[in-house]
Amino acid sequence: MKPKLPAILVVLAALSAPAARADAVTDWNERSCDAVVAAGLPAQPANRIMAIAHTAALQAAEGVASDGAVQDKRVAMEAAIAAAHRTALLKLLPVQQPLIDGAYQAAMAALPDGAAKTAGTRAGDQAAATLIAQREDDGAATQEAYRPFTTPGRYVPTTVPAVPQWSQRRPWVMPSGNAFRPGPPPTLASERWARDFNETRTLGARTGSRRSAEQTEIARFWETTVPPIYHMLARSLAQQPGRDLLRNARLFVALTQGMDDAMIAVFDAKYHHAAWRPITAIRNADQDGNAATPQDPSWQPLLATPMHPEYPCAHCVQSGVVAAVLQAEMARGAATPLRTRSASANGAERGWATLDDFVREVGNARVYGGMHFRFSTEAGAELGRRIGALAAARHLGG
């Protein structure tokens, strides 16, 4: 077995390689990522928007590609992709109109005027409008009705819990939001609970932890939650030589639909199991009935705890989707350098030798940050891989 390169060496090797060429699909993926970041959206609506925009673009591009009346397929497909993204993004992110229109005008200015450009523009506008109408009742606008379990007169947290209604949305590739719901977390009396409890207690603490400097960097790198940190990995693959527009469009539809469905599935599981976070479990360990879990009433995690239940890990379900989709696509051709940058780490870049290394690091990061237990990271990654495999089978043919 060959030794694995450290992450930083993988990144340096990738950066020294010739720059890969972008195309309309990867350009618009990056512009769409810019728009959801500029809008300050959380991961759930951001993933939905990315899925709608990329799906509309694929439908439009496939339409003009199969239209015998269109002579210049390349121009028509690029115009279709640009128009579909613009129409979808303006409808879903109207406050980002200057950014969206600027990207659209630049893309269209690079294409020669003529029948192909006109046909592509019309196809893109129509595909986006049709898909948005179809997804209006997908459940994203469902009103939140979740209430913490309590009794009258007892204190409950006053911060609104995050997206408890998201699991009610209509999925893209899953048969239902709970189709792949994982089983429950370990029982509090189990050895597994004690082992993972103590790992997070000692590695994820804000002060007095056993965490190394690199582990702290990894935790902060993966603190960000929005899609761009994952999409850069897919662009690394999509920009390799020998790829075409439709192949890349299908790749990003598999990725974005899988990631959007993953948010539905993980929030179904989170609110179904309603498992406590490390900060609650460690401060109240005297109540779990396990002698191997010492209580620390003042324990604080390195990073802020999200306002939703612990199990399973949402970051990990996203990484599982990405790994499954990219693995399916890489099986069709040569492997590609895996690297991405993080806004929560001041633009720092990291890379991995394998997709398994990438998934493992995301799980480790959530333990190092003190937000998750190991069993939750593993369940999340497995859930994501199942959804990603389904999305890949639907759009990539395996």
345 secondary structure, DSSP code: G
Pick the CATH number of 7-142+166-178+186-395 from 3.10.20.340, 3.30.450.20, 1.10.606.20, 3.30.70.141: 1.10.606.20
pLDDT of residue 26: 98
Q: What is the pLDDT of residues 46-93, one digit of tens each?
A: 999 999 999 999 999 999 999 999 999 999 999 999 999 999 999 999
pLDDT of residue 22: 73
Is 249 buried (19+), middle (13-18) or exposed (0-12) by CB count in 10 A?
A: buried
In sequence order, the 6+-apart residues with CB closer than 8 A to the CB of 377 are 312, 313, 316, 362, 363, 364, 366, 367
More confident residue, 153 or 54: 54
* Residue 350: band (very low, low, confident or very high) from pLDDT cuts 50, 70, 90: very high
Looking at the chain, the whole-number percentage of residues with pLDDT higher than 70 is 93
Cis? peptide before 157, omega within 30° of 0 = no
3-state secondary structure of 42: coil
pLDDT of residue 334: 60
**Angle value at C-alpha 379, between 376 and 380, nearest 5 degrees:** 85
Top mean pLDDT of 113-122, 149-158, 339-348 is at 113-122
Predicted TM-score of the model (pTM): 0.92
Tell the residue number behind the tokens 């929005």, with chain if given. Answer: 226
* Residue 3: band (very low, low, confident or very high) from pLDDT cuts 50, 70, 90: very low
pLDDT of residue 335: 66
Looking at the DSSP bridge assignments, the partners of residue 301 are 205
Q: What is the pLDDT averaged over residues 232-239? A: 94
* Residue 150: band (very low, low, confident or very high) from pLDDT cuts 50, 70, 90: confident
Among 84-88, 137-141, 196-200, 369-373, the minimum mean pLDDT is found in 137-141
3-state secondary structure of 205: strand
Write out the two tokens for 27.
């350009």
342 secondary structure, DSSP code: E
Q: What is the pLDDT of residues 274-331, one digit of tens each?
A: 999 999 999 999 999 999 999 999 999 999 999 999 999 999 999 999 999 999 999 8
